[in-house]
Amino acid sequence: MTDVSAPSPSGRSAYRINLVGLVGLMVVLFWGVVAALAPHLIPHSVGEIVDTDYFGPMSRELWFGSDYLGRDMFSRIMVGARYTVGISVVALTLAGFTGIVLGMIAAVSGGWLDMILSRLLDALNSIPSKLFGLVVVAAVGSSIPVLIVTLSVIYTPGAYRFARALAVNVNTMDFMVVARIRGESIFYLIGAEILPNILGPVLADLGLRFVFIVLLLSGLSFLGLGVQPPYADWGALVRENIGGVPYGAPAVIFPSLAIASLTISVNLLIDNLPSKIRDRGAEA
């Protein structure tokens, strides 16, 4: 994406990852672990009021201060990671799976199926994502399954387009012709011949899509239309504590920082992925 990450000249192996990418990876892994283990790590229960004051400052007892009701921000952010990371990962998996499978099928079969799928998904893609989210939430109300489905529908066209573009290139290869002559089924073609050849770049692209999903989810929650109380993801945490802005309360700063740290590190990680993974198939 950018040229900040020129491949390191001393790189012995194409699989070497540079320092910036490594830092990104560490932060992403960190949030993954936090999301998985949050209930065992938090010092206070999320609903428990531990501070007599609201919007309390950072202290030794409450690392990230307290929120608008005097609850422990540190614990709430740790648990919020579950919702932000969890919902995004599930939505991404759904979007990625449908998008990539449809993209490969479209590329392999071509013809009218390809045309209809592409037109349809392009039209879907031309609805601004936040607007789509708003309309769906208005129609069916907001719940976690609705959010997951909405987010995955919104980001399917992008994954489709990317996978299809790569698969079309692979489709012209000789080994595809051979496989076709052998009479292989379409599922064998996409699973065994196409997928291994586009996997690297497709995964990198999914990483970027993960960032968009996290941003959209946080945006919706921030508007009060995403994750609903008593649960709170990071976007909802910012919304709850927006009243603390005039006091510069840590309760509103830290959830924002959490989102930023996750999205920026994913971006850094993807940008600095070993070129062997990122470009595989793209140059074929």
Partner 1 sequence: MSRLLIAVVTLVIVSFAVFFATALLPGDTATILLGQSATPEAVAGLRNAMHLNDPAYVRFLRWIAGLMQGDFGTSYANNRPVASLIGGRFINTMKLAGLTAAVSVPFALSLGITAAIWRGTPYDRIVTVATIGIISVPEFMIATSAVLLFAVYLRWLPALSFTSEIRSFHDALRAYAMPVVTLTFVVSAQMIRMSRAAVVETLNTPYLEMALLKGASRPRLVLRHALPNALGPIANAVALSLSYLLGGVIIVETIFNYPGIAKLMVDAVSTRDLPLIQTCAMIFCLGYLLLTTMADIVAILSNPRL
Shortest Cβ distance from residue 218 to partner 1 (Å)? 5
Residue span binding partner 1 (CB under 8 A) among the ranges 47-55, 110-118, 136-144, 276-284: 136-144
If the CB atoms of residues 5 and 169 are measured against partner 1, the closer one turns out to be 5
Residue span binding partner 1 (CB under 8 A) among the ranges 75-83, 98-106, 194-202, 218-226: 218-226
Q: What are phi and psi of 71, to 5 degrees?
A: -90, 160
Residue 61 near partner 1 by CB under 8 A:
no
Residue 259 near partner 1 by CB under 8 A:
yes
If the CB atoms of residues 177 and 260 are measured against partner 1, the closer one turns out to be 260
DSSP 192-248: IIIHHHHHHHHHHHHHHHHHHHHHHHHHHHHTTSSSPTTS--HHHHHHHTGGGGGGT
Among 14, 22, 264, 284, binds partner 1 (CB under 8 A): 264
160 to 74, 157, 202: CA distances (angstroms): 38, 5, 10
Residue 131 near partner 1 by CB under 8 A:
yes
Residue 38 near partner 1 by CB under 8 A:
no
Shortest Cβ distance from residue 76 to partner 1 (Å)? 17
Residue 19 near partner 1 by CB under 8 A:
no
Shortest Cβ distance from residue 197 to partner 1 (Å)? 27
Residue span binding partner 1 (CB under 8 A) among the ranges 88-96, 178-186, 192-200, 262-270: 262-270
Which residue carries 């789509």 as its tokens?
Answer: 132
Which residue carries 């994502």 as its tokens?
Answer: 129
Write down the H helix ranges in the chain: 19-41, 73-109, 111-125, 129-140, 144-171, 174-181, 186-188, 195-222, 234-240, 250-271, 275-278
Residue 140 near partner 1 by CB under 8 A:
yes
Among 14, 29, 115, 127, binds partner 1 (CB under 8 A): 127
Residue 87 near partner 1 by CB under 8 A:
no
Residue 224 near partner 1 by CB under 8 A:
yes
> What is the dihedral sign for C-alpha 74, 79, 158, 207?
positive
Residue 242 near partner 1 by CB under 8 A:
yes
Residue 93 CB contacts under 8 Å (≥ 6 apart), including other chains: none
Cis peptide before 157 (omega within 30 of 0): no
Question: At 265, is the secondary structure helix, strand, or coil?
Answer: helix
Kindly state the DSSP code that residue 6 receives in the 8-state scheme. Answer: P
Q: List the x/- string, 141-170, binding to partner 1 by CB under 8 A.
A: x-----------------------------
Q: Binding residues for partner 1, how many (CB under 8 A)?
A: 45
Going by C-alpha positions, the residue among 96, 61, 85, 87 that lies closest to residue 75 is: 61
In the complex, the residues that contact partner 1 under the rule CB under 8 A are 2-4, 122-124, 126-131, 134-141, 211, 215, 218-219, 222-225, 235, 238, 242, 245-248, 252-253, 256, 259-260, 263-264, 266-267, 271
